[in-house]
């Protein structure tokens, strides 16, 4: 028997990472209900209902003597007093299945450091399943050679398209079109694309989200994989006491959630990437890459 722990956002196809392969929700359901394997939701708890699998509260509930340690009382606002971290959830799951053959966690957060667990990103897990590396009896395992044949065919088609494109771009140097292009100078499609991107309306919303240092901290934390809950955010030095917590709950998180940049579970305090996170991710990567070059004044905000 294998034990699977699935994140939801940027992992399962109900909220996939843009331009990356995601785990079909049907796979999660099949593993949970059509096999002997144990399957849990460890990220956004919406997956509990979507796949009909146990989540964090269920996991803690199977350790009744430790309930107060991990959750405590549920307040009138719907939040528990505390919530186990991602790594603590995996430890609690492993305790429930000490005789499992293997433990597999699929998450967009790097969890390679968790002892006893094999971590996969969704875009690595899907091909591993198809190649039979996870469980050779699963119905999605492809026949030997299928994957490589498809890859070869795709590469051949791509090569043919590129060759065709190059051929179509070649012009007789004696033609008027070629002469005019020479007079105008070579085209620079990179600059054209960059200038065009600057006028995309999505950028307006992205820059608005980044005009607050509190929202920048949340977004950068999600981008780095170090923010999972409100407690992760509030533990940072830029947050100072109860006043900032109120602002976070009533201003910043609702604003980020409304824009689709984050998903925020009020009942558990969990924060994860939203469906529009991909629109702002390139800007976050730029900030991370060039943080040392930015003026401190540029990073100040409300």
| 126 plus 206 within the same structural domain | no
pTM score, two decimals? 0.55
One domain for residues 11 and 125: yes
In a domain, 243, yes or no: yes
Domain tally, the chain:
2
User: Tens-of-pLDDT digits for all 302 residues of the chain?
Assistant: 999 999 999 999 999 988 899 999 999 999 999 999 999 999 888 999 999 999 998 999 888 787 788 887 877 766 677 778 889 999 999 999 999 999 999 999 889 999 999 999 999 999 999 999 999 999 999 866 444 443 343 344 444 444 444 444 444 444 344 334 333 444 445 444 445 555 565 667 777 888 788 888 888 888 888 888 888 888 876 666 676 778 888 888 888 888 888 988 888 888 898 888 888 888 888 887 776 666 554 444 45
Among left, alpha and beta (phi > 0; psi -120 to 50; other), residue 185 is: left
Residue 197 lies in a domain: no
Last residue of a domain, one of 97, 130, 163: 130
Give the β-pairing of 102-106 and 118-120: parallel
Does 42 map to a domain?
Answer: yes
Residue 189 domain-assigned? Answer: no
Give the pairing type, strands 2-6 and 102-106.
parallel
Cβ neighbours of 95 (radius 10 Å): 12
- Structure tokens that stand for 32 in this block: 């949970």
CB contact burial 34-63 (16+ within 10 A = b; e otherwise): ebebbbbbbbbbbbbebbebbbbbebbeee
Looking up residue 102, the CATH number of its domain turns out to be: 3.40.50
CATH number for the domain that contains residue 288: 1.10.10.10
Among candidate residues 82, 105, 130, the one where a domain is terminated? 130
> What is the extent of the structural domain holding 44?
2-130
């Amino acid at each position: 028997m294998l034990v699977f722990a699935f994140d939801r956002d940027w992992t399962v196809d109900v909220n996939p990472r843009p331009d990356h392969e995601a785990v079909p929700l049907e796979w999660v359901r099949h593993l949970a209900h059509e096999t002997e394997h144990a399957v849990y939701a460890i990220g956004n708890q919406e997956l509990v209902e979507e796949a009909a699998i146990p989540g964090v509260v269920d996991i803690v509930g199977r350790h009744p003597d430790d309930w107060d340690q991990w959750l405590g009382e549920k307040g009138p606002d719907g939040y528990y007093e505390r919530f186990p971290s991602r790594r603590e959830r995996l430890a609690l799951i492993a305790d429930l299945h000490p005789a499992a053959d293997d433990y597999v966690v699929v998450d967009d957060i790097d969890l390679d450091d968790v002892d006893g667990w094999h971590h996969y990103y969704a875009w690595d897990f899907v091909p591993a399943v198809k190649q039979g590396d996870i469980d050779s009896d699963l119905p999605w395992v492809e026949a030997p050679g299928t994957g490589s044949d498809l890859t070869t065919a795709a590469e051949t088609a791509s090569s043919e398209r590129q060759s065709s494109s190059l051929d179509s771009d070649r012009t007789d140097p004696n033609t008027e079109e070629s002469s005019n292009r020479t007079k105008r100078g070579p085209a620079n499609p990179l600059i054209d694309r960059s200038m065009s991107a600057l006028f995309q309306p999505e950028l307006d919303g992205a820059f608005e989200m980044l005009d607050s240092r509190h929202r920048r901290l949340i977004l950068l934390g999600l981008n780095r994989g170090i923010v999972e809950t409100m407690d992760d955010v509030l533990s940072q030095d830029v947050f100072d006491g109860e006043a900032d917590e109120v602002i976070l709950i009533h201003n910043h998180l609702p604003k980020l959630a409304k824009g689709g940049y984050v998903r925020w579970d009020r009942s558990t305090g969990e924060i994860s990437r939203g469906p529009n996170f991909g629109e702002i991710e390139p800007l976050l990567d730029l900030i991370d890459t060039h943080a040392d070059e930015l003026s401190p004044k540029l990073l100040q905000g409300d």
